[in-house]
Amino acid sequence: MFCYQCQEAAKGVGCTIKGVCGKNDDLANMMDLLLFVTKGICVYSTALREQKGYESPMVNKFVFDSLFSTITNANFDKTAITKRVEKAIEIRNMLRDEAQKKGVKVDTTFEGCTWEGKPEEFDAKAATVGILNETNEDIRSLKELITYGVKGMAAYAEHAYNLGFEDTAVYAFMQKAMADITKNLNADELVALTLETGKYGVQTMALLDKANTTSYGNPEITKVNLGVRNNPGILISGHDLKDMEELLAQTEGTGVDVYTHSEMLPANYYPAFKKYKHFVGNYGSSWWHQREDFESFNGPILFTTNCIVPPLANASYKDRIYTTGAAGLEGAKHIPDRENGKPKDFSAIIEHAKRCKPPVEIEKGEIIGGFAHEQVFALADKVVDAVKSGAIRKFIVMAGCDGRMKDRNYYTEFAEKLPKDTVILTAGCAKYRYNKLPLGDIGGIPRVLDAGQCNDSYSLAVIALKLKEVFQLNDINELPIAYNIAWYEQKAVIVLLALLYLGVKNIHLGPTLPAFLSPNVAKVLVENFGIGGITTVDEDIKLMVG
Ligand code: FSO
Ligand code: SF4
């Protein structure tokens, strides 16, 4: 195996024996094989679309689901990934026949267009189709940057799809990008494709924002309870709000409470979910605290997406884990997809919860959030006045992800040491590094404004564009906003590419720069976009706040 797609890549270079995320060598290879055949699908589907206007909802869904399932720590179920490879070959061959029938010309030089094998041959083939086959490190770097952006886009597209919102232009782009990177493109062409990925990233996040707010209302200022009640509970993690909705509806009146974990916290901010009396609040912290949080929770846990940490052999909660959607874990129970427009069936996890003890209280109090674009616009006058009067000197976007590495303490210290006339704008699980600190407020405006999940970074961009308009500026970079973003996995990659597409410059990315950026590609990003890493808290505050 060789994988360097996330921030925790071994030694800052890449995982080669076993993933730091817990992925075994054979699973990592099988994911490479899945991408290999999926790219073959994309070569055919793109040719069919471009030459005959062919569109297959089944193919579109299969492609984004497959990409999503290979994201860092979403799926640890090798059997499920292997079945997906079988299905991929079947779909690709169906498209091949379709292309033949329709007289569509397809360049099938890429081996993923033609390779066939029986399941017992998959492992051997899987070990030969990894990303190191691209020997030019700069070309590999750009191709992987695009791939990771598209994977993040796939995750967001899937959430929107689940709510009935689709954009075929996004599907067409994802498939074209995956097809294009099988060709011999030069660095300039790949840089152009990278920027285009950012453009579609914005479009996908806008679509998901519309899907979420149309379905569940605009997030509003909310005090989220951190304590527990005395009933058994289900802990729901990940990002999928459709799963959240159906779980709340099906648990109502059963005596089972529902709590959010990690990135599901922002579900608490949506009007449509607040009406449920058995929706208690948030339990625990960001994803990587799950080994402790799940022990004391006592009840079953539902993973709707990543970030999964495979449980230790002696974990008491091993048999309390359920996955659904693109998430998977060997040994966990998987709740099947919706069929024929019917909701998923969560009865097994609900019955399981009834047999469990209530959660142990690990903290009390509340945290405040719900500052997505509409809520901030409602406060616009107050915010603009505070900026004009100098009460707010600067906004610091500290969106992104949390992670296990010790050096992420930087973000807690950074938040603590920021001058009191600054406001943090956040989204994603990065917020757990500072959202429980007593950072106070500025004239009633909390100093940490949480817009929601990582995809709600889109909301932060919308807020920035609105402020640019209010202050009548020509350039988004003239705003008193600095960007100090923490990244972990591929959704953060699409957020980053989206911000670059929107023209945001001088983003600081930490705790380390991606291992997949070759020195030359990193140089392009530094020279054209002013991207930089982080140094020390004091130095960076001086640099970003002045
Ligand atoms: Fe975090 Fe995980 Fe949301 Fe990611 S829980 S790290 S960028 O999956 O998607 O912010
Ligand atoms: Fe390593 Fe990250 Fe890849 Fe997992 S996803 S194998 S931790 S680089």
Ligand 1 atom 2 nearest Cα: 307
**Which atom of ligand 2 lies at the shortest distance from residue 7's CA?**
2
CB 449 within 8 A of CB 442: no
Same fold: 10-215 with 222-354: no
Q: Is 307 in the pocket of ligand 2 (CB under 6 A)?
A: no
CB 432 within 8 A of CB 286: yes
Question: How far is residue 92's CA from residue 113's CA, in Å, rounded to a whole number?
Answer: 7
The pairs formed by 521-528 with CB atoms below 8 angstroms and a separation of 24 or more are 521/138, 521/141, 521/142, 521/145, 524/191
Q: Which ligand is nearest to the CA of 14?
A: 2
pLDDT tens-place string over residues 404-441: 999 999 999 999 999 999 999 999 999 999 999 999 99
- Strands in 451-522 per DSSP E: 481-486, 508-510
Q: Is 493 in the pocket of ligand 2 (CB under 6 A)?
A: no
Tokens for 31, please give them: 């994911």
Which residue's entry shows tokens 């990233």?
Answer: 201
CA of 483 to the centre of ligand 2 (A): 25
pLDDT tens-place string over residues 505-542: 999 999 999 999 999 999 999 999 999 999 999 999 99
Ligand 2 atom 3 nearest Cα: 3
User: What percentage of the chain exceeds 90 in pLDDT?
Assistant: 100
Give me Rg for the CA atoms of the chain.
23
Q: Which ligand is nearest to the CA of 5?
A: 2
Q: Please give the class, per CATH, of domain 222-354.
A: alpha beta
Supply the DSSP string of 45-68, one letter for each residue: HHHHHHHH----HHHHHHHHHHHH
Q: Domain 373-545 belongs to what topology?
A: Rossmann fold (3.40.50)
Question: How far is residue 61's CA from residue 120's CA, in Å, rounded to a whole number?
Answer: 26
Average pLDDT over residues 96-105: 98
Q: Is 287 in the pocket of ligand 1 (CB under 6 A)?
A: yes
Q: Which ligand is nearest to the CA of 22?
A: 2
Q: Is 467 in the pocket of ligand 2 (CB under 6 A)?
A: no
Domain extent listing, the chain: 10-215, 222-354, 373-545
Q: Is 144 in the pocket of ligand 2 (CB under 6 A)?
A: no
Ligand 2 atom 5 nearest Cα: 72
Q: Is 429 in the pocket of ligand 1 (CB under 6 A)?
A: yes
**Which atom of ligand 2 lies at the shortest distance from residue 28's CA?**
6
Mutate to test the pocket of ligand 2, among 1, 7, 8 (most ligand atoms within 8 A of CB): 8
CB 68 within 8 A of CB 148: no
For residue 85, what pLDDT is reported?
98
Mutate to test the pocket of ligand 2, among 6, 24, 30, 489 (most ligand atoms within 8 A of CB): 6
Q: Is 71 in the pocket of ligand 1 (CB under 6 A)?
A: no
pLDDT tens-place string over residues 443-502: 999 999 999 999 999 999 999 999 999 999 999 999 999 999 999 999 999 999 999 999
Q: Is 257 in the pocket of ligand 1 (CB under 6 A)?
A: no
Query: What are φ and ψ of residue 449, in 5° steps?
Result: -105, 110
Average pLDDT over residues 373-378: 97
**Which atom of ligand 2 lies at the shortest distance from residue 6's CA?**
2
For residue 375, what pLDDT is reported?
97
pLDDT tens-place string over residues 103-132: 999 999 999 999 999 999 999 999 999 999
CA of 259 to the centre of ligand 2 (A): 29
Amino acid identity of 42? C
pLDDT tens-place string over residues 271-320: 999 999 999 999 999 999 999 999 999 999 999 999 999 999 999 999 99
Q: Domain 10-215 belongs to what topology?
A: Substrate Binding Domain Of Dnak; Chain:A; Domain 2 (1.20.1270)
Tokens for 38, please give them: 């999926």
* 3-class SS of residue 346: coil
pTM for this prediction: 0.98
Q: Is 491 in the pocket of ligand 1 (CB under 6 A)?
A: yes
Q: Is 454 in the pocket of ligand 1 (CB under 6 A)?
A: yes
CA of 485 to the centre of ligand 1 (A): 13
Q: Is 27 in the pocket of ligand 2 (CB under 6 A)?
A: no
CB 286 within 8 A of CB 386: no
